[in-house]
Amino acid sequence: MAAINVERSIGTTKKAVLAGLIGYNNERMGKQKYRRLAISLKERGKIVGGIVGEVWTSVLFMQLFWIEQKFRGKDHGTKLIAAIEDEARKIGATRSYLDTMSFQAPGFYRSCGYKEFGAIDGYPGGVTRHWFTKSL
């Protein structure tokens, strides 16, 4: 009989779920490209900002983006976005998407050409989560 288990360590379950999902998707869509990307901003060898993302099929998803405070507002973010978009295009991406919180950078992403396609209210402190997309 199947049983539901709550786990504190997700490694084994994540691996099994991912393998099952990839297998199912490949049955429906054929084998798809999947590639992780990381773009960093460094000063004196230290990472002071960067973007981590992945391209699946033909879509770039920017998962994580951070820049140390003293490097913000100096065009570094725009250059990081352009760099990951360029790398994604090289491997066949035609679209990009990301999410951000209302206190983070929705205006910045709009200035980079991203269009909002969804939002969810209800986070603590009146915060909203926003989703953005852009054709590459």
pLDDT of residue 109: 97
- Listed as ranges, residues in the chain with pLDDT below 50 are none
pTM of the model: 0.85
Query: Which of these, 90, 84, 72, lies nearest to 33 by C-alpha position?
Result: 90
- Cα Rg of the chain (Å, integer): 18
Residue 90, pLDDT score:
96
Q: Which domains does the chain have, with CATH numbers?
A: 33-135 (3.40.630.30)
| Separation of alpha carbons 122 and 77, rounded Å | 28
121: helix, strand or coil: strand
User: Which of helix, strand or coil describes residue 14?
Assistant: helix
What pLDDT was estimated at residue 121? 97
Burial 50-85 (b: 16+ CB within 10 A, else e): bbbbbbeeebbbbeebbbeeeeeeeebbeebbebbb
